């Protein structure tokens, strides 16, 4: 079971969690498909052993988040790490004004990443340069917002919902008997919006908080973040790190987000020798052997099959 869906706890980096699971699984071959910041929680897809080769096919998946955006204060990291560096009165904001500022985001195709991020500039991670006090200017990068729902707004963050559950469409909504999410302590009693976002890979929700504040004319920061879904993996099926079970996971074929195409023993041999098969299916798909194990990720286009990644027996 080399693919694990884990609920990353507050305060750990994604690397911290991977290091912990390397010890528990007894292998150094552990990675993940999509970083979460230390102050964010929720779905992290962890890949062990040969599953690390799946990372390029999983890390580009659409992500879903529950986010709290606090208005009236900004921070260098754009989240609740602090310190507060700019303040302004945001008491004039209303739910209607926030809702009216959201539609333009759905048209955006680019976003300026946070300076405290893993984006490289001149070969150096921007967050490392920023923590050294160096000025970091990052160019816009591809990003995309598929859906943004304003769930609640309150002048006091303590008045916002704290428990949630997925509805019939898999979208997490306030539900008093539901799951209680733990976030960082608010930096102050700032007016705060609770939003549900569906975004393309590479989109920073911290940058969204900054840009929403700019659109509303006030400084803002991301006060908490929960990833509720990464691709087809939801938080309701994630393991807590404290009760992690190595036997509860997915095989490579189960985790692959593409259709599966069975092939026979002779075709398995040919694929593992790097030989392409006659085209059977357009687009990306997985080739599986008679036992259901993943042999390769392939792509059909222009009447030909191309092997993107081959997995050994």
Task: Please count the CA atoms within 13 angstroms of the CA of 262 that sit on its side-chain side.
Answer: 4
- Chain centroid to CA 118: how far? 14
Please tell me whether residue 117 adopts helix, strand or coil conformation: coil
Question: Bridge-partner residues for 44, per DSSP?
Answer: 6
- Chain centroid to CA 195: how far? 15
The H-or-E segment that residue 154 falls in is strand 145-154
How many Å apart are CA 313 and CA 302, to the nearest integer? 29
Residues contacting residue 22 through CB under 8 Å, at least 6 positions apart: 28, 30
How many Å apart are CA 52 and CA 284, to the nearest integer? 18
Catalytic residue among 7, 37, 79, 211: 37
Take residue 217 and report the two structure tokens written for it: 């004319």
Sole residue written with tokens 């591809």? 142
For 86, other C-beta atoms within 10 Å of its C-beta total 14
Take residue 134 and report the two structure tokens written for it: 């160096």
CA angle 22, 232, 125 (to 5 degrees): 50
Specify whether the CB–CB gap between 65 and 227 falls below 8 A: yes
How many Å apart are CA 219 and CA 100, to the nearest integer? 17
Take residue 220 and report the two structure tokens written for it: 């803002």
Respond yes or no: is residue 37 known to be catalytic.
yes
Take residue 25 and report the two structure tokens written for it: 């699984």
166, 217, 201: which is closest to 45 by C-alpha? Answer: 201
Active site residues: 37
């Amino acid at each position: 079971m080399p693919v694990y869906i884990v609920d990353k706890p507050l305060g750990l980096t994604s690397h911290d969690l991977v290091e912990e699971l390397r010890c528990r699984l007894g292998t150094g071959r552990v990675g993940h498909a999509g970083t979460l910041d230390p102050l964010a929680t929720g779905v992290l897809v962890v890949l062990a052993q040969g599953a690390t080769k799946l990372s390029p096919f999983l890390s580009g998946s659409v992500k879903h988040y529950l986010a709290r955006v606090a208005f009236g204060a900004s921070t260098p990291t754009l989240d609740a790490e602090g310190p507060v560096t700019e303040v302004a009165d945001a008491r004039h904001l209303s739910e209607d004004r926030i809702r009216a500022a959201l539609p333009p985001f759905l048209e955006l195709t680019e976003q300026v990443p946070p300076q405290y991020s893993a984006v490289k500039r001149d070969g150096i991670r921007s967050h490392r340069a920023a923590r050294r006090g160096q000025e970091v200017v990052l160019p816009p990068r591809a990003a995309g917002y598929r859906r943004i729902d304003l769930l609640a707004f309150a002048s006091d963050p303590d008045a916002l919902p704290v428990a949630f559950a997925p509805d019939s469409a898999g979208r997490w909504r306030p539900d008093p008997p539901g799951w209680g999410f733990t976030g960082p302590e608010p930096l102050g009693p700032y007016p705060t919006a609770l939003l549900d976002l569906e975004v393309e890979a590479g989109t920073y929700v911290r940058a969204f908080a900054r840009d929403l504040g700019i659109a509303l004319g006030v400084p803002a920061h991301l006060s908490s973040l929960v990833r509720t879904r990464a691709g087809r993996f939801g938080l309701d099926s994630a393991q807590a790190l404290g009760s992690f079970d190595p036997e509860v996971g997915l095989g490579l074929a189960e985790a692959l987000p593409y259709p599966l195409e069975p092939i026979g023993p002779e075709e398995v041999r040919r694929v593992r020798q790097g030989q392409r098969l006659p085209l059977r299916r357009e687009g990306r798909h997985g080739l599986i052997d008679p036992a259901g194990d993943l042999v390769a990720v392939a792509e059909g286009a222009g009447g030909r099959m191309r092997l993107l990644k081959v997995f050994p027996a």
